[in-house]
Amino acid sequence: MTSRALPVLLVLAAAASADLARDVEEACREATLDGLRAPRQILCAAGEGEEGAPGEEGAPGEEGAGEEGWAFDLTGYFVDPPDDDPYGSAILRADRGALHLEARYNYEDLDTGSLWGGWTLAWSGEVEVSVVPMLGAVFGHTQGVAPGLELDVVWKALELYVEAEYVFDVDGQDDSYFYMWAEFTVSPTEWLSLGLVAQRTRAYDTDVEVDRGLLVGFHVRSVSATVYVFNLDRDDPYVMIGVGISF
């Protein structure tokens, strides 16, 4: 097993010790969300602060306003690209109120890390919308500054999630690049999601500009596992596996 798979192993180890955190999170969800599904960025500070007053339907607001405490999400990926060695990637997210922070590794490029800061805005109503404008610093094999955006839209059992950024590479405009990850899913049950996925990356090369495929995800309390299969219409499809935990 290569050292690049270490981020996935760290996530699995964290999941094994997270029973208490899951119970607290589940209780908090039932108390504050009243059984309604919420966007990814909505925070739940168990045992701290007061529940924020709901805003008017359709009105924008700062996500998590009036809430205290940190909420974390750690996701590790195992990627087996065509004609290249498998590797691991990781994303750590931290939220407190509207403040959103991220640390990524092997995301923009191999042997490359990035640190991000952003602010979460949300629109409530029948359709839940969460928008996070961000600014990041990229370092390692690729170096630069990157403005970015995360978008999450939920309507009943349907969800659209998009991550996008443009890296201004310090080596020049020719090395600058637009990255994108998008998922469109339907969740027939609380523990299962099915959908479509697309990404544009330069961490590895494929013979298409935008990789696209199918996904199936499984969710048990605060732990999730998702399998992605890309480029099924090509001669060299490939697989990605993601494991995440919220705490």
* CATH for 37: 2.40.160.40
Decide: helix, strand or coil at residue 47: coil
Please count the other Cβ atoms lying within 10 Å of the Cβ belonging to residue 149: 14
Distance CA 244, CA 77 (A): 9
| Residue 109 lies inside a defined structural domain of this protein | yes
| Residue 17 lies inside a defined structural domain of this protein | yes
pTM recorded for the entire structure: 0.75
| Residue 53 lies inside a defined structural domain of this protein | no
What percent of the chain is helix, strand and coil (3-state, nearest 5)?
15, 50, 35
Give the bridge partners for 91, in sequence order.
Answer: 75, 104
Kindly give the confidence (pLDDT) of every residue in the chain, 247 residues in length, as a single tens digit, with 9 standing for 90 and above: 444 554 544 444 455 445 544 554 554 444 433 433 334 443 343 344 444 444 445 556 665 545 579 999 999 999 999 989 999 999 999 999 999 999 999 999 999 999 999 999 999 999 999 999 999 999 999 999 999 999 999 999 999 999 999 999 998 888 899 999 999 999 999 999 999 999 999 899 888 999 999 999 999 999 999 999 999 999 999 999 999 999 9
Decide: helix, strand or coil at residue 65: coil
Distance CA 57, CA 221 (A): 28
Distance CA 15, CA 23 (A): 13
| Residue 51 lies inside a defined structural domain of this protein | no
| Residue 52 lies inside a defined structural domain of this protein | no
| Residue 137 lies inside a defined structural domain of this protein | yes
Domain count, the chain: 1
User: Please, which residues have CB within 8 angstroms of residue 11's CB and are 6 or more apart in sequence?
Assistant: 74, 75, 76, 90, 243, 244, 245
| Residue 55 lies inside a defined structural domain of this protein | no
User: Please, which residues have CB within 8 angstroms of residue 31's CB and are 6 or more apart in sequence?
Assistant: 51
Burial of 182 (0-12, 13-18, 19+ CB in 10 A): middle
Residue type, 62: E
Range of the domain at 170: 3-46+62-246
| Residue 208 lies inside a defined structural domain of this protein | yes
Could you give phi then psi for residue 216, rounded to 5 degrees? -140, 130
Give, for 198, the enclosing helix (H) or strand (E). Answer: strand 192-200
